[in-house]
Amino acid sequence: MTDSTAKGASQLGGADLFDLSMIRKYDKAGPRYTSYPTAPMFHAGVGALDYASTLKRVADDDAPLSLYIHIPFCNTVCYYCGCNKIVTKQYDHAAPYLELLLKEIDQVATAMGNCKRPVTQLHFGGGTPTFMSNDQMRAIMNKLRQCFNFVAKDEGEFSIEIDPRECDEDTVSVLQEIGLNRMSMGVQDFDPIVQKAVNRIQSKEETMRVLLEARQHGFESMNIDLMYGLPHQTVETFDRTLNTIIDFSPDRIALFNYAHLPHMFMPQRRIDEASIPTPQEKLNILEHSINKLLKAGYIFIGMDHFAKPDDELTIAQQQGKLYRNFQGYSTQADCDLIGFGVTSIGYVGGGFFQNHREMDAYAQEVENGEFSVFRGYVLSDEDHLRRQVIMRLMCDFALEYAQFESEFGIDFKEHFADGLSDLKEMSEDNLVELREDGLTVLPAGRLLIRNVAMTFDEYLQKKKEGTSFSKVI
């Protein structure tokens, strides 16, 4: 990494990052690259038998392991939501799901034998993981600890997504007791009109209560999710939300661009499209938010993420040790990720494996003692190379060609002649600096990092896909 790359991020102001004419010019849909190849490339040719043999093959590797547990349930539906969730007020759905999870954990552990690989990373995602009761959360963790070899709490990243509305007084202490040390909270917007329009009524007080409790219980790196582009939002209304959040002072803030894809997510059809801010108003909100967060001392990490200068994400980026996976940015090195639960995706032994997305299908396979994988993707050598290139771009905003040439035995400029030629226009627009030995994404190109990554995506280049992805800004 050169000094002009991520290291310089701390000195940047909003005006360096936000170039309206360039954002307009390069405005198009693109993947978020939490995986490469992206999920639309997964296919049914990879299934449960491949998963079983892959788990067995990697069981004795030395590298650390990461675990992901998907809890799909939510008590109410937020109309904007694009997550994999099941909306229900019936908490008794949690008990049979717990049984399935415990069974699936046993199945994986059996396939891997007595696996000693250190688990350095665990993430509970959803839906809303705390839909499960405190005892049910304890049961999941007990089972995981019986089956896997967890490193000490202060040596790993053990996290959970929290909806503060679904978090009673005991919940935070139980989450701490079972060994979790990171938390991410959904907020989106505190404005009452916006909250009503998206059916997510959440007070500042209950959000602050959970944040304070988490700090008291020693949780590190608290994150808050915000969203711009929601109905009725204006610069003025969102400014008030930002003021509150800055007062709360979370270590990290994710500022997501609302992806409005009503053909894919039914609840979004309940959002009145006339109330969604115009593209220009959205950009005004984004520009204002970036300026405000940077002024408040946050660093732009990449994509939609901001962190305090002393947060481990910022430090990892400065050291060139930042990674990206399905949960977004991470400080834990790229490693095998085992997914549990309906819809979950794992990355094991150089391949992706996804569980059934329908609860009935997932349940049936697990009850039969089978793995529930219904599709996946085994990476070729070329995929691994491109996955690495896209990962380093998203994390470092730079590439050093020599690193890939020695690791993959290629001549970078020859191998990626097409991609580099596609980047010439961005280079002429001062978004990217192309050199003999590498490239650097310049400050005004950072918000357009997906556009840069897309030039290295073999499948987008071949098929010119992209219609089901959200807009890059």
Cβ–Cβ < 8 Å for 205, 183? no
- Residue 5 interacting with ligand SAM (CB under 6 A): no
Q: Are strands 432-434 and 351-355 parallel, antiparallel or unpaired?
A: unpaired
Looking at 57-65, 75-83, 216-224, 323-331, which segment touches ligand SF4 (CB under 6 A)?
75-83
- Residue 189 interacting with ligand SAM (CB under 6 A): no
Write down the residue that tokens 């580099």 correspond to: 420
In this structure, what token pair is assigned to residue 169? 């007084």
Would you say 29 or 77 has its CB closer to ligand SF4? 77
Would you say 127 or 349 has its CB closer to ligand SF4? 127
- Residue 285 interacting with ligand SF4 (CB under 6 A): no
For residue 457, the one-letter residue type is D
Looking at 3-11, 98-106, 122-130, 144-152, which segment touches ligand SF4 (CB under 6 A)?
122-130
Looking at 9-17, 75-83, 434-442, 455-463, which segment touches ligand SAM (CB under 6 A)?
75-83
Torsions phi, psi for 330 (to 5 deg): -150, 155
Cβ–Cβ < 8 Å for 104, 112? no
d(CA 169, CA 207): 12
- Residue 81 interacting with ligand SF4 (CB under 6 A): yes
| CB 258 to ligand SAM: min, Å | 5
Would you say 180 or 439 has its CB closer to ligand SAM? 180
Per-residue contact track with ligand SF4, 140 to 179, x per CB under 6 A? -----------------------x----------------
Cβ–Cβ < 8 Å for 444, 431? yes
Cβ–Cβ < 8 Å for 84, 116? no
d(CA 164, CA 187): 8
Would you say 83 or 410 has its CB closer to ligand SF4? 83
Per CB under 6 A, contacts with ligand SAM among 80-99 are: 80-83
Give CA 249 to chain center in angstroms. 21
Q: Which of 68, 73, 148, 256 binds ligand SAM (CB under 6 A)?
A: 256
Q: Which of these, 152, 54, 59, 49, lies nearest to 114 by C-alpha position?
A: 59
d(CA 473, CA 28): 8
Encode 248-285: b = buried (16+ Cβ within 10 Å), e = exposed.
bebbbbbbbbbbbeeeebebbeebeeeebbeeebbbbb
| CB 470 to ligand SAM: min, Å | 7
- Residue 241 interacting with ligand SAM (CB under 6 A): no
- In the list ligand SF4, ligand SAM, none, the entry touching 445 (Cβ below 5 to 8 angstroms by class) is none
| CB 361 to ligand SAM: min, Å | 21
- Residue 186 interacting with ligand SF4 (CB under 6 A): yes
Q: Which of 23, 74, 101, 431 binds ligand SF4 (CB under 6 A)?
A: 74
Interface residues with ligand SAM (CB under 6 A) are 74, 80-83, 126, 128, 161, 163, 186, 188, 225, 227, 256, 258-259
